[in-house]
């Protein structure tokens, strides 16, 4: 059995937003397609989704609301999601959870 190592790349724009991604067996993929301009990042782990932001050497999903803050590996609202049987949606204007 031959095991081929897979490399993952994400292309970011001038705002560090992911605009493309690719998985291949070529460690030098950006060179091979003539795009070795620094916009391709070698990814450790899962490929980030389109629209993710590259910040502090990690990929983050888009911030859902301006008031939410990044906490290690996820976005957190300023008020915790309430423990209830009904579905709630975040209201940025009132900084609270509303009935959906």
Sketch the domain layout of the chain as residue ranges.
Answer: 7-99
Average pLDDT over residues 30-35: 75
pLDDT recorded at residue 45: 87
pLDDT recorded at residue 36: 67
Average pLDDT over residues 1-11: 84
CA distance 78 to 68: 6
66 CB contacts (<8 Å, ≥6 apart)?
92
**pTM, whole model, 2 decimals?**
0.75
Distances in Å between the Cα of 60 and the Cα atoms of 12, 15, 33, 87 are: 12, 13, 26, 25
């Amino acid at each position: 059995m031959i095991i081929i190592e897979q490399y993952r790349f994400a292309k970011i724009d001038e705002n560090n937003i992911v605009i493309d991604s690719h998985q291949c067996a070529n460690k030098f993929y950006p060179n091979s397609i003539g795009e070795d301009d620094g916009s391709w990042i070698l990814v450790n782990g899962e490929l980030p989704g389109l629209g993710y932001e590259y910040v502090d050497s990690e990929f983050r999903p888009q911030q859902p609301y301006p008031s939410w803050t990044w906490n290690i590996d996820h976005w957190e609202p300023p008020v915790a999601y309430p423990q209830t049987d009904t579905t709630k949606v975040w209201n940025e204007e009132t900084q609270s959870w509303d009935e959906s």
